[in-house]
Amino acid sequence: MEPEIVFEAQQDPTFYDAVAALPEGERLRSCLQCGSCGGTCPVARILQHTPRRLFAMVRAGMKREVLTSLTPWVCSSCYACTVNCPAGIKITDIMYALKRMAIKEGLQPKESDANRFAEQFTDVVCAHGRASEFEAMMRYMMFSHPGRLLGKSAVGLEMMGRGRMPLLPHRIQGLESFRRLVARARELDEVKP
């Protein structure tokens, strides 16, 4: 790991408070830097920044580095860190909050476009009222990851043949009122797309 030197001029002194103000963020102030989170994390094997390190970076005001870190976007939401944190920090929920903050700031994670998948999946849900794995996967992979799509095509066809991958999305009946609910949520949220 290459040493990073961050000069005061590059730090954002308001960032720590901004993260602490996120849902479940306040407890971050009691992080002991013990590393239990990274120790239990199943994806730590590929992380440049374990949660412990990421939180140290939050404290250091390294806004850009934190919000472009791969860590929140590769989090598999297994909640192992959350249940093992001796300071009671809801780490998984903070990862979600950091993802939303990154989207709001228009920052792209390093070596990943998982943000795009989350947004496209959400758009599919908002359009039909139900998720469509087929549509979400196609939207995400068609142009940016054709290799992955190809790699999945054999098993995808098998799934279709067994009635487990419907091509057309299910649509709910009350779409009109559903869309009003969605529109209100888009208006009110901390994050505006």
Give the interface with another protein as residue ranges (CB under 8 A).
23, 42-43, 45-46, 73-74, 76-80, 82-83, 90, 92, 96-97, 99-100, 103, 112-115, 117-119, 121-122, 125-126, 129-133, 136-137, 140-141, 148, 151, 155, 158-159, 162-166, 170, 172-174, 177-178, 180-186, 188-191, 193
Task: Output the smallest distance, CB 122 to another protein, in A.
Answer: 5
Task: Output the smallest distance, CB 32 to another protein, in A.
Answer: 19
Q: What is the spatial distance between Cα 130 and Cα 150, in angstroms, rounded to a whole number?
A: 25
Contacts of residue 8, defined as CB under 8 A and 6 or more positions apart, other chains included, come to none
Select 14 or 77, whichever has its Cβ closest to another protein: 77
Output 139-145 pairs: Cβ under 8 A, ≥24 positions apart: 140/116, 144/113, 144/116
Select 52 or 90, whichever has its Cβ closest to another protein: 90
Neighbours of 6 (CB within 10 A): 12
